[in-house]
A and B are shown apart, each in its own frame.
Chain A
Amino acid sequence: MKISCKEAANICDKSQYKEAGFWDIVKLRVHILFCKVCKGYSKTNTELTSLCDRAGLTMLSEDDKKKMERDLKDKELQK
């Protein structure tokens, strides 16, 4: 049942992406009861996730970026 802070951080990261198992989360909860550092980490980590969700971030796909890069190079050569 006992886990190290490193493991706790790992579970916490995974749970931000809903990839932590049930028992792992139980272990993390127990660990957090006794460890202030991990409690703080867990809190800010969750906060970061909610900020990212709220911000509605988007990004270009790698293909789009490659195409952009190619077009930009072509344009540079034309100059």
Chain B
Amino acid sequence: MGKHKLQPDNWVSHYADYLFNYAVSRVSDAEIAKDLVQETFFAGLNSAKNYKGDAAERTWLISILKRKVVDHYRKINSKKGKAEVRMNYKSDPDSEGDWLEEQVADPFSKDGDYVLENEELGLAIQDCITKLPQKQALVFKLKTIQGMSTEDVCNELSINPSNLWVMIHRARVTLMGCLNDNWF
């Protein structure tokens, strides 16, 4: 038996956001991503006895999620043979022949790199957030990711504003250190 153990009770609070970010970046749909994360947890529970404990819990869950994402694409493509490539050519006679030019890759475009880098950056930040104390992480996420107002966050967590700013400050300092180690 390896040194890691599964604790399904903590899965949602510890890994749900991380897995969700991973899934959203791959399927680009929040609802589908949510379902995939849920399915991942179920599958993890069902195959818990196969977990050897060699990999960390999160790595193991991510590997299940990866399969779920592949399954998702397989499923939507098998329906009605959607795998065919469709191109929309303009019917406008003036632009006749333009389509060829439009299909050529733009050598100056760096979009692909940006998308990939930002995806990794998102996971690195999530990774650092999971290392924060739970309440700090929650306050930081509500303020930064959900963009909630200070008043709303205070009401929801029944804390006062100065308390909130202390937690935000500590969270930000820890995150800066963590990203400094893991990202730059």
Task: List residues of A whose CB falls within 8 A of some B CB.
Answer: 9-10, 13-14, 16-17, 19, 44-45, 47-48, 51-52, 54-60, 64-65, 68-69, 71-72, 75-76, 79
Question: Given that A10-B169, A56-B122 are contacting pairs, would A17 and B145 also be in contact in the complex, using a CB cutoff of 8 Å?
Answer: no
Interface string of B36-68 (1 = CB under 8 A from A): 011001100100000000000000000000000
Closest residue to B177 on the A side, CB-wise? Answer: A44
Tally chain B residues at the interface, Cβ within 8 Å.
36
Residue-wise, chain B 147-184 has the 8 Å CB interface mask toward A (1 for contact) of 00010000000000000010011001001100110010
Q: Is the CB of B8 within 8 A of A58?
A: no
- Answer whether A13 and B172 are a contact pair too, CB < 8 Å, given A54-B121, A59-B17, A76-B45: yes
Q: How far is it, in angstroms, between the C-alpha of A68 and the C-alpha of B103 when the chains are bound? A: 43
Tell me whether chain A's interface is mostly helix, strand or loop, or mixed: helix
Interface string of B1-31 (1 = CB under 8 A from A): 0000000100111001100110010000010
In the assembly, what is the distance between CA of A22 and CA of B118, in Å? 32
Q: What residue of chain B has the Cβ atom nearest to residue A48's Cβ?
A: B176
Chain A hits for B165, CB < 8 A: 10, 13-14
B135 to chain A, nearest CB (A): 13
Q: Which of B12, B17, B20, B118 has the most CB of A within 10 A?
A: B12
Question: Of B21, B180, B183, which one neighbours A57 at CB under 8 angstroms?
Answer: B21
